[in-house]
Structure 1
Amino acid sequence: MGSILEQAERAWAGDLDAPLAPRLELAEVAHGVAFVSSFANVAVIDAPRGLTLIDTGSWLVAHQQHGLVRAWSERPVVTALFTHGHLDHVSGLGPFDDEASRRRLARPHVIAHEGVVARFERYRRMAGLNERINRQQSGVPLRWPRSFRQPDQLFDNALTLDLGDGERLEIVHGKGETDDHAWAFLPSQRTLFTGDFFTWATPNAGNPQKVQRYPAEWAAALRRMVSCRAAVLCPGHGPPIVGESRVHRALTETAELLESLVEQTLSMMNRGATLDDVIHGVRPPAHLLARPYLRPVYDDPAFLVRNLWRLHGGWYDGNPAHLRPAPEAALARELAEVAHGVAFVSRFAHVAVLDAPRGLTLIDTGSWLVAHQ
């Protein structure tokens, strides 16, 4: 087997510490279907009308991705599907556009959910914020783009794409990591393209610095994918999954994890729990978090709980003191005075550090006081 498929086997067995790590390689995972392992993966369908891309990857590795695809096929790229509007999925089309111009061909026809256009407009408006938080998250001094490759065709709920000679690609909208997300299924090869609905990690539905995400709708989309009975799953990140039973299990258990977090959170909220109660009271199923494709390596179940609270309960956390709080710096000064100074609190926390959770709480308080002096 090629290295990507070997990686897929090792990932399924739990032998990879970082299954999301890209390889910048290409493997054919079904007849006429290529999978490019990249920062955000790209899939290619060799169809009668030409090549169709499922996602386009990141501009950071766009030329490498283009070279991999061209080593596999020289046929024109006629269509590209953006599964959603995140930059790592939509910014790698440049070399294919340039190639089409040089060959005097029509550039790839881009299809996306109608929400992608609004996302791009928000990205332009909030460029400074997005640049800062993505630099913090990645450690890379990237410059956030101010212009984006716009879709040529939009859809709302679903779209059947004619690939020629009776070949079709079924495209379905569903909320999940974003509100503009789509997944696709190629019936002739029983191949599923999930975008970021599946990423070899706890679903990224609670990212602290990102806009609203939708765990319940995410689970529903996964359940709908299960009904396709796919034999190959091409995820947004990480290696492919090959085999109907494996695909079924991965999708089903990811849905089960989300459904458990949603049910527990909403149940506690309906009983009058505060956000603090809910964060510390919800218990993710341990056997699911132990799965190699559901480990909390990028997002944390507690963050999903916070996001669910925001979606259903707004920003008020149930503590009246947080409705009109004093400035944090002023509160820090008062606490420092009451606690005989920052140095005393910090020393006490250092001594008590092994007495968890008391030590952790004191360290949090001490660090907070130091930060606001």
Structure 2
Amino acid sequence: MVRSEACGMKRLILAAVLFASTASAHEFVPSEDDKLAMQGRAILAREHPDVMRHLSRNDGFGGASAPLIARQMLSTAPEVVAEARAKMTVESYGTPGKGLWLIRFPYVNVAVVETGDQLVLIDSGYASVGEVLKDVLPTLSPKPLKTIVLSHVHVDHAYGARALMGLTPRPDVIASDVFPAMMDKEIRLGGSIGRFNNQPLALQPTSRDDVVMPNITFRDRMERTIGGEKFVFIRSPGETEEQIWVWLPDRKTIFTADYYQGFLPNAGNGKRITRHITEWAQAFRQMAALQPELMLPMHNAAVRGKGAIGDALTLNAQALEWIDNYVVDRLNAGERKDVIAANVPWPEKFAKAPLLDPEYNRPADIARMVARRWTGWWDDIPSHFAALPYEAEAREAVRLAGGVEALDTRARELLPTQPMLAARLADWAQYGAPDDPRALRLAIDVYLARLAEPDMPVQESTIYLDVAARARARLAAIEGAP
């Protein structure tokens, strides 16, 4: 029976009813396009070894890089577990009997709190992290793990818990009462999410049996004494609607989940469900108001000191608020969404701040997320209101240009100085003439060049890699070359 600290039971039951019939009942399988991308990546890795170096410039999401893990976050294969174990580091911030540890794995952290009678785990990492934690936790303290807190449903935070459910006694799992409905959405859209995250589709969960659900839930805020110590859990939509953060008032410590990341927050992710920029900024303000003395994020390094933490949280809040207000003001002024995003006048204060480095996404991406949330899907271009396959437009563009050769020539002229425009022409060529070797070579060259740009964020670079990979695999098929 689910125990709830608020009136979330009815919502939980309703969510189960709504999503039970829509969750996928079959394994997600790779499409022919997926197979092309995999083939193409292998070819590009051989022909252009620099590609992987470019791709990994900002890899790690604030932690160590591990390409094997990045491609298999749902896997508990021995080699993946071994990689997670080998690249793990343990940082201690507690005192005897009241231990506090930040365990840093590639891409993500988990935190462990020692209370009077138990260990409390804040987030559980990806699947292989759970296997490592079974061995690591007893080395930190003889006390049993009795409580797991899941900040949100993402694979790098919630899936390590599966390996820990066999412990005796079985740990309680705390999450927002919105968590089950959000996890059902993740299950239902597993094929899409797996592709966008470059994860093996065969490992994507297809039912609730494949994931861990909470047995203790709350709506917006819950205070709970665990092992004689007060924990405060706060839900504030950010990366996801159900995301929560945790406050330990006796230790003046906050656990910031995916709100604080040590670089420009991943608030403009063009591949995932809508992010909540307004509430994300509010969460930063709420955290700062508590004047914490230790901040343990689930990405990047811990931050010590009331002043440093307050400055970091306030800076992040100001940056998100600035983008949010700018976009809303321009929407209200009647400007088109593409014009708004393409002309974000990012203030120098933010542009020069190391804590807002655009490693993963750009201010323009966050601006587009804001516009997407508050308006419909239409991008304000009249002809785009009626659905039309992009291939139809591209074929006509090829014809008007006088053929692929003209697009190829012009795109290569533009590439050194106007790479975004060159990429648009390359798209016309490859979508308008998908079997033309010249169009495919243009796509490969343009997107490899874009990927090599020194300020290219990780998310954008992975998209460009896949475009070049598919084009390279198609070219190999057409020319009969390996």
Q: Which residue among 140, 155, 159 is the counterpart of 1:91?
A: 159
Give the C-alpha shift of residue 325 in structure 1: 4.6
Separation in structure 2 between the aligned mates of residue 302 and residue 59 of structure 1, nearest angstrom: 32
User: Is the counterpart of residue 33 in structure 1 residue 100 in structure 2?
Assistant: yes
User: Is the counterpart of residue 198 in structure 1 residue 265 in structure 2?
Assistant: no
> Could you tell me which residue of structure 1 aligns to residue 196 of structure 2?
133
Give the C-alpha shift of residue 299 in structure 1: 2.0
Matched letter for residue 21 of structure 1? G
Give the C-alpha shift of residue 309 in structure 1: 0.8
> Could you tell me which residue of structure 2 aligns to residue 172 of structure 1?
234
> Could you tell me which residue of structure 1 aligns to residue 117 of structure 2?
49
Alignment CA distance shift 1:361-1:77 (3 Å)? same
Matched letter for residue 370 of structure 2? L
Q: Deviations over 1:205-253 (max 9, x none)?
A: 1111111111111000110000111111011211111111111111110
Separation in structure 2 between the aligned mates of residue 17 and residue 210 of structure 1, nearest angstrom: 19
Does the CA-based 8 Å contact 2:61-2:108 persist in structure 1?
no
User: Is the counterpart of residue 303 in structure 1 residue 370 in structure 2?
Assistant: no
User: Is the counterpart of residue 108 in structure 1 residue 171 in structure 2?
Assistant: yes
User: Is the counterpart of residue 24 in structure 1 residue 88 in structure 2?
Assistant: yes
Does the CA-based 8 Å contact 2:63-2:108 persist in structure 1?
no
User: Is the counterpart of residue 82 in structure 1 residue 150 in structure 2?
Assistant: yes
Does the CA-based 8 Å contact 1:131-1:142 persist in structure 2?
no
Separation in structure 2 between the aligned mates of residue 222 and residue 339 of structure 1, nearest angstrom: 50
Does the CA-based 8 Å contact 1:36-1:68 persist in structure 2?
no
Separation in structure 2 between the aligned mates of residue 88 and residue 353 of structure 1, nearest angstrom: 36
> Could you tell me which residue of structure 1 aligns to residue 430 of structure 2?
370
Does the CA-based 8 Å contact 2:162-2:211 persist in structure 1?
no
> Could you tell me which residue of structure 2 aligns to residue 345 of structure 1?
407
Q: Which runs of 5+ in 2 are unaligned?
A: 1-57, 65-86, 434-482
> Could you tell me which residue of structure 2 aligns to residue 143 of structure 1?
203
Partner SS, residue 93 of structure 1: helix
Partner SS, residue 93 of structure 2: strand
Matched letter for residue 193 of structure 2? N
> Could you tell me which residue of structure 1 aligns to residue 9 of structure 2?
none
Deviation >4 Å, runs of 4+: 16-19
User: Is the counterpart of residue 235 in structure 1 residue 303 in structure 2?
Assistant: no
Mapping for residues 169-318 of structure 1, pairs under 5 Å: 169-318=231-380
Separation in structure 2 between the aligned mates of residue 282 and residue 344 of structure 1, nearest angstrom: 32
> Could you tell me which residue of structure 1 aligns to residue 441 of structure 2?
none
Q: Which has the higher contact order (CA 8 A, sep 6+)?
A: 2
Does the CA-based 8 Å contact 2:398-2:428 persist in structure 1?
no
Partner SS, residue 355 of structure 2: coil
Partner SS, residue 30 of structure 1: coil
Give the C-alpha shift of residue 51 in structure 1: 0.8
Matched letter for residue 222 of structure 1? F
Of 185-194 and 19-28, deviating more is: 19-28
Structure (1/2) with the larger helix percentage: 2
Does the CA-based 8 Å contact 1:332-1:369 persist in structure 2?
yes
Partner SS, residue 160 of structure 2: coil
Does the CA-based 8 Å contact 1:111-1:151 persist in structure 2?
yes
Tell me the number of residue pairs that the alignment of Structure 1 and Structure 2 aligns. 347
Superposition CA RMSD, Å: 1.9
Q: Deviations over 1:42-79 (max 9, x none)?
A: 11111013111111111123222333322211210111
Matched letter for residue 263 of structure 2? A
Separation in structure 2 between the aligned mates of residue 150 and residue 269 of structure 1, nearest angstrom: 39
Q: Deviations over 1:128-171 (max 9, x none)?
A: 21222211xx6x67721232111011100101110233x20111
Structure (1/2) with the larger strand percentage: 1
Of 122-131 and 204-213, deviating more is: 122-131
Q: Which residue among 124, 131, 136 is the counterpart of 1:68?
A: 136
Does the CA-based 8 Å contact 1:346-1:367 persist in structure 2?
no
Q: Deviations over 1:93-138 (max 9, x none)?
A: 23432232xxxxx211001001110011112212221222211xx6
> Could you tell me which residue of structure 2 aligns to residue 335 of structure 1?
397
Alignment CA distance shift 1:322-1:194 (3 Å)? same
Matched letter for residue 63 of structure 2? A
Separation in structure 1 between the aligned mates of residue 176 and residue 313 of structure 2, nearest angstrom: 22
> Could you tell me which residue of structure 2 aligns to residue 163 of structure 1?
226
Q: Which runs of 5+ in 1 are unaligned?
A: 1-15, 101-105
> Could you tell me which residue of structure 1 aligns to residue 477 of structure 2?
none
Of 118-127 and 271-280, deviating more is: 118-127
Does the CA-based 8 Å contact 2:186-2:193 persist in structure 1?
yes
